[in-house]
């Protein structure tokens, strides 16, 4: 069994040309030739460069002109017509299908590997958040409920969302800067963070808060700390 190689295929076609029949002067012909194509296990993988025009026949008087009697100029034009994509497109289909299936399988398998359920993503996120509060670093940003943090925002307790930023980490204590703005809705904090407003020095009070590292995990669990952002 031949696993790969080159095979030939007969090709026929009808065309009009500037060339005229020597017998009747007509310019419409049918052409016959062979083109070769590469294959693997008999499956075509594309047309080979080897293309041969054997003869052409006048459609008017059936006069046959052999390839050796066709000028080089006309032979090239006839070859382009006879072996153009319209005549040989089907030879590319098997390989195109194989490549499509291969790419589809690769895409699906990659997507399955990267696909996580919403619960798995949430678990990964929560684990990351816990790691942040158990190992705080300078410049960490904590989005917090100021009421639970016992930081007063005035008489209206509905204004409770703010930011505290890690200024310094000691062996067992974290020093935080406390944001001046306190918002009624969490979107206020999110908007500040989008435009990097929270990174400016005047965004924070001069007075700092000091919290034990051992307390941070509890504060995350009781939602005093809503989330931690780390650069």
Residue 42 phi, psi (nearest 5): 80, 0
Residue 30 phi, psi (nearest 5): -110, 145
User: Between the CA of residue 209 and those of 31, 85, 112, 115, 148, what are the distances in Å?
Assistant: 92, 76, 46, 41, 14
Can you give the residue ranges of every domain in the chain?
4-103, 120-229
Tens-binned pLDDT, residue by residue, of the chain (231 aa): 456 667 777 777 776 667 788 888 888 888 777 777 777 776 776 666 566 777 788 888 888 878 777 777 677 777 777 766 666 666 677 777 878 888 888 887 776 666 667 778 888 899 999 999 999 999 999 999 999 887 765 667 789 999 999 999 999 999 999 999 999 999 999 999 999 999 998 999 999 999 999 999 999 999 999 999 998
Place of tokens 């895409």: 107
Count CB atoms within 10 A of the CB of residue 176.
Answer: 21
Does the global pTM surpass 0.85?
no
């Amino acid at each position: 069994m031949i696993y790969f190689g080159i095979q030939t295929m007969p090709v026929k076609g009808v065309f009009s040309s500037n060339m005229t029949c020597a017998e009747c002067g007509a310019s419409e012909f049918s052409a016959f030739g062979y083109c070769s194509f590469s294959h693997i296990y008999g499956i075509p993988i594309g047309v080979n460069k080897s293309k041969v025009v054997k003869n052409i026949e006048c459609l008017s008087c059936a006069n046959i002109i052999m390839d050796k009697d066709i000028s080089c100029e006309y032979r090239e034009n006839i070859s382009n017509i006879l072996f153009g994509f319209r005549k040989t497109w089907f030879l590319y289909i098997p390989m195109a299908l194989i490549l499509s299936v291969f790419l589809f399988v690769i895409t699906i398998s990659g997507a399955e590997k990267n696909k996580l359920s919403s619960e798995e993503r949430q678990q990964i996120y929560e684990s990351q958040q816990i790691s942040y509060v158990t190992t705080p670093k300078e410049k960490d940003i904590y989005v917090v409920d100021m009421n639970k943090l016992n930081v007063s925002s005035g008489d209206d307790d509905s204004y409770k969302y703010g930011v505290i930023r890690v200024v310094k980490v000691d062996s067992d204590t974290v020093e935080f800067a406390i944001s001046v703005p306190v918002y009624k809705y969490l979107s206020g904090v999110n908007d500040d963070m989008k435009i990097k407003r929270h990174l400016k020095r005047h965004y924070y009070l001069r007075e700092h808060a000091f919290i034990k590292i051992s307390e941070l995990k509890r504060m995350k669990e009781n939602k005093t700390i809503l989330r931690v952002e780390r650069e």
